[in-house]
Amino acid sequence: MPAPVHVLRVALPTPLPRLFDYLPPGGMAADAVAVGQRVQVPFGKRDVVGVVLGHGPAAEGVDLREALALPDPAPLLQGELLASLRWLAGYLHAPVGEVLATALPAALRRGEPLPETATFGWRRSEAGETAFPAMRAGKPRALAALLDAPRSEDWLDDAAPGWRSTMRSLRDRGLVERIEMELAPATGPRTPGDADALFRPNDEQQAAIDAIRDARGFVPLLLDGVTGSGKTEVYLQAIADCLARGKQALVLVPEIGLTPQALARFRARLGVPVHALHSGLTDHERAATWLAAARGQARVVVGTRSAVFVPLPEAGLLVVDEEHDGSYKQFDGIRYHARDFAIVRARALGVPIVLGSATPALESLHNAASGRYAHLRLRHRAGNAKPPRVRIVDVRKRPLQAGLGDEALRAIRAAIDAGGQVLVFRNRRGYAPVLLCHDCGWSAHCPRCSTPDKPTPMTVHAHGRRLQCHHCGHRRPAPQACPDCASLGLQPQGNGTERIEAELQARFGDVPVLRIDRGSTGQRDALQAHLDRLGDAPGILVGTQMLAKGHDLPRLTLVVVVGIDEGLFSADFRSGEKLAQLLVQVAGRAGRAERPGEVLLQTHHPEHPLLQTLVHGGYHAFAEGELALREAAGFPPFAHLALLRAEAKHADPPMQFLQRAAAGLAEADPDIVLHGPLPAPMPRRAGYQRLQLVVSAAARRQLHAALDALVPGLHASPEARKVRWSLDVDPVDLY
Ligand code: ADP
Ligand code: ZN
Ligand code: ZN
């Protein structure tokens, strides 16, 4: 018998949940290729980039193809990160190749060569030091004079434009030399921040800082501090401690939280380069930062969701700011939760992890209550800031102008007259949520997202000229006349941010009225530019949850919240939690500096328990009640869920697919709890019929054992070929 051929087992970014065997490239020995190395291979008619995950004998009777190339001399993924990612693939029941591809920066996933991460600079050589005092005046001497310390090329670009040719002649004379600087690129200059004069931490902050400092090994700490309590100060001190011990720190922030303001604060305070990692960077920049972390050059990485995948060979601390934030969950592809994966990594790395929030997720509060997390509380605002005064304003039977009652309008006037700024919060962009025919009752629905039983209204935009579906993006001009009865009495119903903006502009012509939502302010820098335009002057901001966090608005004295009532009656098990978090976060924007803040909650349901509990008991009272309800109803964190979704143009194939899945699960574990298959709460989107199956188990292990038994066969099933399907482990909502 011939000796077995040794092959590489390669993870490829395909939905097939298995590894693929290849011969090593160019007649190499298989074991000369390390686990974690990128490898370029032929796959079907394409070349793709995968990651080597093992070696072994070839299976018999399989036609082996040869790998094309190894882009790197050494493994790109290794150690803790590789192990954690393999764990993640198992946990999500997702193909490991897709998980690895999700974790790698796009440029590296495509097989591009490793970017340069070092920064080069120049200094005088020994001969240069000796010769310098005697040099004649002129360009070369002026440049040599700048090198009284080693200077990076970036620095030279700023200080001495056109320096390169002069430098070359100095080098040819042996007077200067090019050196690798210690700091990696993509680091902004250290911006001195006067606003960030060092505070003396207050007692609560100090206790939190001490607890983090004393944490040894893996310790999860919930930093549960009211808005404005100085959580960021605690992070900064803890990170400084971590740096002083010679370790790396990773800070995750929500999508909207990574503002230039926030980064400048980190840079100013830490005195080392802070590497930002977010969607606003080029692929090349992202890859360079990722690699700088892998090489230990990046000491502090601050990034959004996908930054949870940076390698941290010298990890000392992980921080997840606003840990309750919805943007940590990825909603398509590999549906990971960055906070949860950060905890998994902290455990594997053996380092503390700080989860910070003014409105912690119910899961996190539950973990703190049960002693799994240390619970650090900051109950007071830092400095002299007072908590905002929150009032429920009953608008039943009151006249409303674009959704605003008299009391709110009077309060806005008063706040402006006192020189303050006002935030009007409405979580609905566009002009109006519905276009209605006043004569016959027709209303505009999205043709791609509606079913006969469940119409999806189109939102009115552009002052009534355009209709847009917020679920699938479908747009069309608003009709001039009713398509059913030809009446000209079409009326926009309800209020979005656009309409409120128009109303406020008409009423408060003496101050700027700025609208902040995804329509007006696409990019993160645009938001900053808007706020800069307002400056310190009195004015009004109208906005969606983009405004709920991230920016310090010291002049803000009044927050008016309108149109929350629909959120009070949503069916999803997490909607109460999300609404409570949003309200507390928005309210927390008011009065963060010396000026006291006031918050008005306008509602038609002033007696609603959620509002009453929040206003009179606070977030923690709400959370306690809500956790009791979850326990009674068997929802997380008292049960573990997975959501299997399937969609197709017609409803039959998804139903058959989900029925097969349900049967498979019931067979694997008769005690597993199944809800469905049923139409999804939004039963049609963009022309696809959507169905779902909710899988629930009291114990995590039980859920995963059943999914383990089911999922591999599901990929191969004939029903799967007729649908688009996905599995969401720990779904954040059931939509
Ligand atoms: P959080 O992140 O908890 O909302 P921040 O860290 O942004 O709060 O702090 C709120 C404000 O209080 C900031 O302007 C910050 O500079 C200030 N601050 C923080 N700690 C102190 C302190 N110990 N004394 C005075 N001011 C402080
Ligand atoms: Zn009509
Ligand atoms: Zn639609």
**From ligand 1's centre to the CA of 339, what distance in Å?**
23
Q: Could you report the per-residue pLDDT of 163-187, keeping only the tens digit for each?
A: 888 998 999 999 999 887 765 433 3
Query: Is 319 in contact with 235 (CB distance < 8 Å)?
Result: yes
Ligand whose nearest atom lies closest to the CA of 228: 1
Looking from the CA of residue 383, the nearest atom of ligand 1 is 25
Instruction: Pick the ligand that lies closest to the CA of residue 593.
Output: 1
* Atom from ligand 1 closest to the CA of residue 385: 12
Nearest ligand for residue 445 CA: 3
455-465 pLDDT, tens per residue?
999 999 988 89
| Cα-to-centroid distance, 549 and ligand 3 (Å) | 29
Instruction: Report the alpha-carbon distance of residue 185 to residue 562 in Å, rounded.
Output: 45
Alpha-carbon distance 78 to 93, whole Å?
A: 21
CA distance 134 to 130: 8
Q: How far is the CA of 592 from the centre of ligand 1 (A)?
A: 9
Say what the pLDDT of residue 594 is. 72
d(CA 298, CA 349): 17
Q: Which atom of ligand 1 is nearest to the CA of 205?
A: 23
- How far does residue 98's CA lie from ligand 3's centre (Å)? 29
Does residue 55 contact residue 31 with C-beta atoms inside 8 Å?
A: yes
Residue 357, strand partner residues: 224
* pLDDT tens sequence across 367-405: 999 999 999 999 998 887 788 889 999 999 988 888 899
Strands 598-603 and 389-394: parallel
Ligand 1 site-directed mutation target among 199, 233, 263, 265, most atoms within 8 Å of CB: 233
Measured from the Cα of 227, ligand 1's closest atom is 4
| DSSP-assigned letters across all residues of 633-680 | HT-TTSSEEEEEEEEESSSHHHHHHHHHHHHHHHHH-TT-EEEEEEEE
Residues lining ion ligand 2 (Cβ < 5 A) are 437, 439-440, 442, 482, 484-485, 487
Whole-angstrom Cα distance, residue 416 to residue 400? 20
Q: How many CB atoms lie within 10 A of CB 419?
A: 12
CA of 500 to the centre of ligand 2 (A): 26
Which parts of 469-608 fold into alpha helices (H)?
Answer: 497-507, 524-534, 565-568, 575-587
Tell me the pairing of strands 300-303 and 274-277: parallel
Please list every protein residue whose CB sits less than 6 Å from any atom of ligand 1: 199, 201-202, 205, 225, 227-233, 382-383
DSSP at 297: -
With a cut of 70, which residues of the chain have pLDDT below it? 1-5, 154, 158, 182-198, 519-526, 548-551, 593
- Read off the tokens for 341: 């994966």
The Å distance, Cα 385 to ligand 1 centre, comes to: 9
pLDDT (tens digit per residue) in 578-606: 999 999 988 888 877 677 789 999 999 99
Residue-wise burial string across 1-33, b where 16 or more C-beta atoms lie within 10 A, e elsewhere = eeeeebbbbbbbbbeebebbbbbbbeeeebeeb
Q: Residue whose CA is closest, atom 10 of ligand 1?
A: 228
Q: How remote is the CA of residue 479 from the centroid of ligand 2, in Å? A: 11
Residue 187 has a pLDDT of 36
Closest ligand to 436 CA? 2
How many Cβ atoms from other residues are within 10 Å of residue 112's Cβ? Answer: 15
In ligand 1, which atom is closest to the CA atom of 195? Answer: 16
How close is the Cα of 567 to the center of ligand 3, in Å?
Answer: 20
Q: How close is the Cα of 485 to the center of ligand 2, in Å?
A: 4
* Alpha-carbon span 496 to 438, nearest angstrom: 19
Q: Which residue lies with its CA nearest to atom 21 of ligand 1?
A: 382
Looking at residue 188, its pLDDT comes to 35
Q: 640 and 703 in contact (C-beta within 8 Å)? A: yes
Q: Are 730 and 641 in contact (CB under 8 A)?
A: yes
Specify the residue with its C-alpha closest to ligand 1, atom 24: 383
Model pLDDT, residue 714: 92
From the CA of 268, which ligand is nearest? Answer: 1
Instruction: Give me the pLDDT at residue 531, please.
Output: 77
Return the pLDDT at 273. Answer: 83
Identify the pLDDT of residue 14.
92
Instruction: For the chain, give the number of residues.
Output: 735
Angle, vertex CA 346, rays to CA 278 and CA 206, nearest 5:
90
Distance CA 9, CA 18 (A): 10
Mutate to test the pocket of ligand 1, among 227, 232, 321 (most ligand atoms within 8 A of CB): 232
The alpha carbon of 430 and the centre of ligand 3 are apart by a number of angstroms equal to 15
Q: Could you tell me if residue 535 is left (phi over 0), alpha (psi between -120 and 50 degrees) or otherwise beta?
A: left
User: What is the rounded distance in angstroms from the CA atom of residue 587 to the CA atom of residue 581?
Assistant: 10
Point out the ligand nearest to the CA of residue 442. 2
